[in-house]
């Protein structure tokens, strides 16, 4: 569901932003540097950049050396993911130590335009109801251009804004995780990103962790406003492997599995509200447009129409499989409160990175919880309802299809 949101009046004070970039592989060394540099070019500047390394000691040590000078000035901090492997726990690690009024998230293979944070800041205005603001992510194709068969309606496959999102600044159900920001207080209210859902390095490309969090947030704060501003622009690199039809299908299937997990947490009605409009309005128009292009002899027209059909049916198949697994107890994920900085071992330096201000592997998590999490605060896997202050877990709603 979306709607227009009034633009704010000018303000004299800018909010402070901590920017979290989760990283996991040394193969993206140049991308990581470009992402950090883009944050350092922001106007107004970010308060800090938090590089969270996902269980890769070699990368942790290398980034600690590379950003030692920036760490000494408090500009860049390099942290080990203090929770279970995966993007959700990495983001929670960053949230737990963030000092900014707002926490923004940028992918490690993306570059933000210089006014990215300013657009976020303007969208928050002086309206305390605005708890999250997202932006527009544009693909940078490794081949130099969009594959002729790849429909814009499915750019979410490669982590980018897609045809069907509202233009300008508008109210939305959820922001997109690789180009998003939240008030720090939102996590105090709703808890962190759920583990057991979302990306885990190069394994099956699950997602929807930001969708689940946003729905949980609006459950906890019924008058909360979540916005997207298409002027907050990020450019996201799409490697050649993700331009292939095989990846398109596997990512669509994984999205269906992820949506089933979200439905288990918050109920199918809320989990699929935006998807119903997308499936019944946006995609039929996309198919007709693509078929029209094919009839006119434009390259890729029939291919795009076919890709839309394959994409929606494959996503639906993943969703149905995910619901069956959930009924059989085969799916588990958890969310809980974000602990304040300094709690449960936060700030402990790991082996080999003494004196750098870097948290090393094995740090007991700052309130990051999930299946198999170690240390105080860990709990058994379980499907959460809207997060509660004590980190308790409720039985999932919407278990029936």
pLDDT tens digits for 250-275? 999 999 998 998 888 888 888 888 89
pLDDT of residue 336: 63
- The residues, ordered by sequence, that sit 6+ positions from 25 with a Cβ below 8 Å of its Cβ are 56, 59, 201, 202
Alpha carbons 335 and 4: distance in angstroms, whole number: 31
Model pLDDT, residue 206: 72
356 conformational bin, left if phi > 0, alpha if psi -120 to 50, beta if neither: alpha
Average pLDDT, the chain: 82
Q: In this predicted structure, what is the pLDDT of residue 115?
A: 98
pLDDT tops 60 at residue 374: no
pLDDT tens profile 3-51: 555 454 444 578 999 999 999 999 999 999 999 999 999 999 999 999 9
- What residue segments make up the domains of the chain, in order of their start? 3-243
Mean pLDDT of 299-320: 97
Omega of the bond leading into 44 within 30 degrees of 0 (cis): yes
With a pLDDT cut of 70, the percent of the chain lying above it is: 77
Q: What is the pLDDT of residues 118-158, one digit of tens each?
A: 999 999 987 999 999 999 999 999 999 999 999 999 999 99
Q: How far is CA 350 from CA 23, 50, 74, 313, 391, in A?
A: 17, 17, 19, 47, 27
- Mean pLDDT within 188-200: 80
Q: Which two tokens stand for residue 305?
A: 């129409």
CATH domain 3-243 topology = Spore Coat Polysaccharide Biosynthesis Protein SpsA; Chain A (3.90.550)
What span, in angstroms and rounded, lies between the C-alpha atoms of 287 and 277?
A: 15
DSSP sequence for 219-241: HHSTT-EEEEEEEEEEEEEE-GG
pLDDT band at residue 335 using 50, 70 and 90 as cut-offs: low
pLDDT at position 268 is 83
What is the C-alpha to C-alpha distance for residues 327 and 316, in angstroms, rounded to an integer?
17
Q: What is the pLDDT of residues 198-222, one digit of tens each?
A: 555 445 567 788 999 999 999 999 9
To the nearest whole percent, how much of the chain has pLDDT over 90? 67
Q: What is the mean pLDDT of residues 380-394?
A: 31
Q: Shortest CA distance to 151 belongs to which of 384, 11, 342, 312?
A: 312
Range name among 129-143, 232-246, 268-282, 320-334 with the lowest pLDDT average:
320-334
> Looking at the whole model, is its pTM more than 0.85?
no
């Amino acid at each position: 569901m979306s709607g227009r949101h009034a633009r704010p009046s000018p303000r004299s004070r800018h909010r402070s932003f901590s920017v979290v970039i989760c990283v996991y592989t040394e193969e993206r060394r140049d991308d990581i540097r470009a992402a950090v540099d883009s944050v350092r070019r922001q106007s107004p500047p970010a308060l800090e950049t938090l590089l969270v390394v996902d269980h890769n000691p070699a990368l942790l040590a290398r980034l600690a050396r590379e950003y030692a000078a920036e760490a000494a000035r408090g500009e860049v901090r390099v942290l080990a993911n203090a929770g279970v492997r995966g993007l959700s726990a990495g983001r929670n690690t960053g949230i737990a130590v963030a000092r900014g009024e707002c926490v923004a998230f940028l992918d490690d293979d993306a570059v933000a335009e210089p006014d990215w944070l300013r657009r976020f800041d303007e969208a928050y205005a002086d309206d305390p109801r605005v708890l999250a603001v997202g932006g527009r992510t544009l693909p940078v194709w490794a081949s130099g251009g969009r594959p002729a068969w790849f429909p814009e309606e499915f750019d979410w496959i490669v982590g980018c804004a897609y045809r069907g999102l509202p233009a300008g600044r508008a109210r939305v159900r959820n922001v997109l995780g690789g180009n998003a920001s939240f008030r720090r207080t939102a996590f105090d209210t709703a808890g962190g990103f759920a583990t057991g859902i979302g990306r885990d390095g190069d394994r099956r490309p699950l997602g929807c962790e930001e969708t689940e969090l946003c729905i949980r947030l609006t459950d906890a704060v019924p008058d909360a406003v979540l916005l997207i501003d298409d002027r907050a622009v990020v450019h996201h690199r799409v490697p050649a492997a993700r331009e292939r039809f095989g990846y398109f299908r596997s990512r669509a299937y994984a999205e269906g599995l992820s949506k089933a997990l979200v439905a288990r947490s918050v109920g199918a009605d809320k989990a699929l509200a935006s998807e119903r409009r997308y499936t019944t309005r946006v995609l039929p128009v996309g198919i007709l447009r693509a078929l029209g292009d094919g009839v006119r002899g434009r390259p890729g027209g029939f291919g795009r129409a076919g890709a839309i059909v394959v994409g929606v049916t494959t996503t639906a198949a993943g969703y149905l499989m995910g619901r069956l697994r959930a009924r059989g107890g085969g799916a588990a994920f958890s969310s809980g409160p974000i602990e304040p900085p300094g709690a449960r071992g936060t700030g402990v330096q790991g082996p080999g990175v003494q004196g750098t201000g870097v948290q090393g592997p094995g740090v007991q998590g700052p309130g990051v919880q999930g299946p198999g999490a170690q240390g105080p605060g860990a709990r058994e896997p379980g499907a959460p309802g809207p997060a509660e202050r004590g980190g308790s877990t409720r039985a999932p709603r919407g278990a029936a299809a």
